[in-house]
Structure 1
């Protein structure tokens, strides 16, 4: 009897403790759950902003940039060495002309070993030298420009404005690539309804001196009726804003490809032939800039031709490779050339039912299949030039997981680079020896670490986010 009474007392005590703990948790409100709520951002997992300066890792906070490793990326210090501050940048910036810089989190560092950062305000793109504490150059960003595409190699900026395409070079000169653009004739924008991995309409050459671009003629396409509700309060009534949309079986737009050289303001048009019912996808420059490769797909989508063009004359040089399928072919990724061999590239295809990597040469010969299996290669991140391996993200370890691997180009052997759990996103250093890995899982909130791509180990832990919902009942 005594034991029964003790058990009942223990049960009641535990129940009371659980109820007390439950009462200490609070129910979320709309301010907690809705974007724009007063407490919404406090309940998002914390993050850390970083950028690569060659192989050195920099931390880019709102008000300060710090260096977390040496130039070779071998020795790390989590506290970091301060390089420059937001106040120092604004002191050197002509804020009357360029506006005020509000944050350093999006800074990029295009030249390894040289103390310069590329930054932008709402009114200017500029380069800041933190050693000399001066702005080396700036490009004004006019109101209404879209589809900005910056070439770090030449410091030139391509953009569209009022349906036309322009290039502003490092000397501040503005070059009009087109002058006849309108709602039915577009330059420098994404084409083919953003299918086939297309998400932009301009493509800089490796040296940044020439610009390949799309021209889309949609005069023959039917208007689809839409309205614009984002009108001034004085207007109140939605206004017509029809969209050109080729319905199934109806006439589609026609696309051509040009290459603009701002040094002579000349455009070379590629000899594509009749563009009717053809899709020109996944444009890729050769490393020397002499060729442009296009994956061409007919509207039936049962065939894809990889075609090479001369970028100086526009001449069609020939078909390197053809992929066919009785159902459909859907290329999604441009060619990726090997950094150490300009005559070899990686072609991505679902020819065996899963997206995998294939090594080709520029004669169109398939040299080997690099990855295979019942999994998808989700992203080609780049290369480790020292080990001559390709770094990828795939779902090989499980279809709800995304992990990082190094693939040896000689043997095809895959090496897992992370912990094998959760979903991972990575930023690879220029030489591919290090990567910043942001990952989470159903039981782990955001973690950000630096990893080696040569020895699968964690080099530096930047963040281990706490559960932002730990004080709530869900």
Structure 2
């Protein structure tokens, strides 16, 4: 009996202790999950906003912040209004394809009559888009472009030559979607009488095939077109379809850069569309205006750079007079410029040793634009309004942390989403000058759970690299940190071009896992070296033609600097990274073998020759032009240098960074008689998730760290 009581007492004590710790079970049970507000959209009147809730799409008042009922009842994944808000497009169910693309079943509800119409006869489709006059919806099905009349239900087929792995109409191919950041490649004119779309002929693009094991007797195959660096890309053309004639005509882009057509934009004028095009070397982009009555094409201007232009995230906004705003790094930082309707530069709107990181809109009444910037430091993002004529700027968000905004249509209100590294997301309703109206949602409960389990705040510092740059860094120290002790160091990074991991923002991703590792006695650190973003174009673009060289030099320098701190055991330094970060970890364990004792590389690129054309060539040119840049920065070239404990992880169905990368690196390690650990995740893509996959993965990585660092 006494023994039983003692057992109960020990068990209770153990439960009490474990309750004060972060565990993987808690992380993946959702115990620390935060709360958000989904689908925030301002209504046209500027006085109401919508959000997706359990029972439907709810309507709220900005002025009172009170709910005024549901616009639509039911469960929906997403929604989109027509321009006049007479109709709403509802996504009922979806099936993902790649990063942005998916097949979905959609319906349109007339908010006046209550009539509901299924698109494409209830069959799946892609990328639906209301015509501006709200009488039609265009969409893609089986790589062909269609539009459906919302009065009669009649479906008109615009193209007929669409074919899997061959011809796409109005839809991005794999590499366009992944690297230019969107799947839709068409746009309506403002007056709804024409559609301009991109036709992609990928028939000559080399095909990748991936075995899918599943539970079948024989594996099946996933086949799709994937242009690797230096290989053939889709042949693209711009097409103009006029509804009145029912005819399609190709647009003549022969006098302009036309290897890539990443973007199609609607302007403020009835019969115009703007295309952004570029050559294969992505250091110049033409901004072209198309007359959709005649098909005539006029160049507005050409944006150039001696290295590259970020064609994946252009800012192009047309004002009421058809003048427009454009973002450029031409002065060394990303700022906004104002052009007249003919492409003549009127003025530079924003200036300073900081960057515009997002653009929210323009208020014609006050002549103000609304932007997110790094003007309060590169690890912070704040929201300001700027008068485009005077240049006068006013901060309307918090002055620190990561702040984003969703504005009312009249810009009298906005919902600020903000966080810091020490405070999870809050959603606050503010007026147009930044005055708090009401807090809509906070995550204090999430924070208190973490604090009860010994959450430790990140410390932000800077670390010098070999050429004197101050690199942003954060550190998480164990709860009962003792400066007289020596702690093992676990470093995380990503390091890809223009990326940022050292940010004064809440981390719902790996952040809680890092806290758990700190509780187990590790100092966890992250350093953003050369090549990363938000510190100006020079810092970001120094890696041009030598991707990986300066990035790994900076990580090795940072590891040595941290290793020289009195509280770090320099013989116990490890690194972890995913994708580009996995590539960096692979380099760290080879080129940095004398510094790093342990490394975990997940889904790494191991040779840039195996990665896609658009991304790789933007930073490296082609392998034919720059063979040394590709080979001397590949970890497979340094496999003979591996010394420490190395865990290589990859999903076999990774459509982005192919399993081939890890297979080649493994073979190089094997032929150099190097011992390492390898984990393959069957049929998992670049994200490696599904079912119990993530808990198993993170348990495996945790165990590897505990055993080897």
Among 53, 64, 67, the residue aligned to 2:43: 53
Among 9, 12, 25, the residue aligned to 2:19: 25
Matches within 5 A, 1:145-156: 145-151=125-131, 153-156=133-136
TM-score, L = length of structure 1: 0.79
Larger mean CA deviation between 455-464 and 134-143 belongs to 134-143
Once the two structures are TM-superposed, the CA of residue 336 in structure 1 deviates from its matched residue by 0.7
SS in 2 for 1:242: strand
Change (3 A) 1:115 1:209: closer
Change (3 A) 1:451 1:377: same
Among 168, 187, 205, the residue aligned to 2:189: 205
| In 2, Cα distance between equivalents of 1:226 and 1:274 | 39
SS in 2 for 1:255: strand
| Cα-to-partner distance string for 1:256-288 (whole Å, 9 max, x where unaligned) | 111223444222321122899711233222212
SS in 1 for 2:17: helix
Once the two structures are TM-superposed, the CA of residue 212 in structure 1 deviates from its matched residue by 1.8
In the other structure, the counterpart of 2:169 is 187
Among 290, 304, 321, the residue aligned to 2:285: 304
Q: For the Cα contact (< 8 Å) 1:389–1:407, is it kept in 2?
A: yes
Change (3 A) 1:372 1:31: same
| In 2, Cα distance between equivalents of 1:22 and 1:393 | 44
| Cα-to-partner distance string for 1:141-182 (whole Å, 9 max, x where unaligned) | 643422333446424322222222222221311111211111
Larger mean CA deviation between 403-412 and 211-220 belongs to 211-220
Matched, 1:438 2:417: yes
Matched, 1:216 2:189: no
| Cα-to-partner distance string for 1:355-380 (whole Å, 9 max, x where unaligned) | 21100012221100011222221111
Q: For the Cα contact (< 8 Å) 2:258–2:277, is it kept in 1?
A: no
In the other structure, the counterpart of 2:75 is 102
Matches within 5 A, 1:283-294: 283-294=264-275
Change (3 A) 1:292 1:68: closer
SS in 2 for 1:193: helix
| Cα-to-partner distance string for 1:206-245 (whole Å, 9 max, x where unaligned) | 344432211101222222343345x5x4x34332333323
Greater share of strand residues, 1 or 2? Answer: 1
Among 78, 81, 84, the residue aligned to 2:68: 81
In the other structure, the counterpart of 1:92 is none
In the other structure, the counterpart of 2:382 is 403
Once the two structures are TM-superposed, the CA of residue 254 in structure 1 deviates from its matched residue by 0.9
In the other structure, the counterpart of 1:450 is 429
Once the two structures are TM-superposed, the CA of residue 110 in structure 1 deviates from its matched residue by 4.5
Matched, 1:157 2:137: yes
In the other structure, the counterpart of 1:63 is 55
What root-mean-square deviation, in Å, do the aligned CA atoms of Structure 1 and Structure 2 show?
A: 3.0
Once the two structures are TM-superposed, the CA of residue 447 in structure 1 deviates from its matched residue by 0.8
| Cα-to-partner distance string for 1:111-132 (whole Å, 9 max, x where unaligned) | 67x78654342344122537x7
In the other structure, the counterpart of 1:424 is 403
Matched, 1:261 2:242: yes
Once the two structures are TM-superposed, the CA of residue 64 in structure 1 deviates from its matched residue by 5.4
Change (3 A) 1:388 1:25: same
In the other structure, the counterpart of 1:126 is 108
| In 2, Cα distance between equivalents of 1:379 and 1:159 | 28
List alignment gaps of at least 5 residues for structure 2. 1-12, 94-104, 455-515, 517-709
Matches within 5 A, 1:215-294: 215-229=199-213, 233=215, 235-273=216-254, 278-294=259-275
| In 1, Cα distance between equivalents of 2:92 and 2:412 | 32
In the other structure, the counterpart of 1:321 is 301
Change (3 A) 1:107 1:291: closer
TM-score, L = length of structure 2: 0.54
Once the two structures are TM-superposed, the CA of residue 253 in structure 1 deviates from its matched residue by 1.9
Change (3 A) 1:197 1:23: closer
| In 2, Cα distance between equivalents of 1:397 and 1:126 | 44
| Cα-to-partner distance string for 1:60-104 (whole Å, 9 max, x where unaligned) | 3222555432xxx5x32x443335673xxxxxxxxxxxxxx425x
Once the two structures are TM-superposed, the CA of residue 107 in structure 1 deviates from its matched residue by 4.8
| In 1, Cα distance between equivalents of 2:159 and 2:50 | 40
Greater share of helix residues, 1 or 2? Answer: 2
Change (3 A) 1:20 1:404: farther
| Cα-to-partner distance string for 1:4-45 (whole Å, 9 max, x where unaligned) | xxxxxxxxxxxxxxx9997383444544323xxxx32x5211
SS in 1 for 2:119: strand
Change (3 A) 1:153 1:439: farther
